[in-house]
């Protein structure tokens, strides 16, 4: 599917997993990471992140993250933003 909205595509990855402890980001089992998806902008990624975070609110060790992939793909953009 092609995005024809004319907006610049800024890829974001949403993923999560259960942490070993609450003091650091160390996952209990990397094979059980939940890859929620890739999103073309931060707003879409934030919506997905909120949904997954709400679904796992009863598990204090479960955490979801948004990774700004566009910053990794274009390091010059990071310096400008």
- What CATH number is associated with residue 39? 3.30.70.2400
Q: Look at residue 17 and tell me if it is in a domain.
A: yes
Q: Look at residue 78 and tell me if it is in a domain.
A: no
- Inform me whether the pLDDT recorded for 35 exceeds 70: yes
Q: Which domain holds residue 32?
A: 10-21+28-66
Domain total in the chain: 1
Percent of the chain past pLDDT 90, that is, above it, reads: 72
Q: Enumerate the β-bridge partners of residue 18.
A: 62
Contact criterion met (CB below 8 Å) for 68 and 12: yes
pTM over 0.95: no
Supply the pLDDT for residue 74.
78
Supply the pLDDT for residue 4.
52
Query: What letter does residue 57 receive in the DSSP assignment?
Result: T
Q: Look at residue 49 and tell me if it is in a domain.
A: yes
Q: How many CA atoms lie within 13 A of 6 on its CB side?
A: 0
Q: Dump pLDDT digits (tens) for 7-33.
A: 788 999 999 999 999 999 999 999 999
Contact criterion met (CB below 8 Å) for 52 and 42: no
Closest residue by Cα to residue 10 from 34, 36, 46? 46
């Amino acid at each position: 599917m092609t995005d024809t909205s004319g907006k610049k595509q800024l890829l974001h990855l949403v993923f999560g997993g259960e942490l070993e402890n609450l003091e650091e980001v160390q996952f209990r089992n990397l094979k059980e990471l939940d890859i929620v998806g890739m999103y073309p902008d931060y707003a879409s990624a934030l919506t997905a992140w909120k949904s997954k975070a709400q679904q796992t609110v009863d598990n204090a060790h479960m955490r979801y993250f948004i990774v700004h992939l566009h910053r990794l793909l274009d390091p010059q953009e990071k310096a400008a933003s």
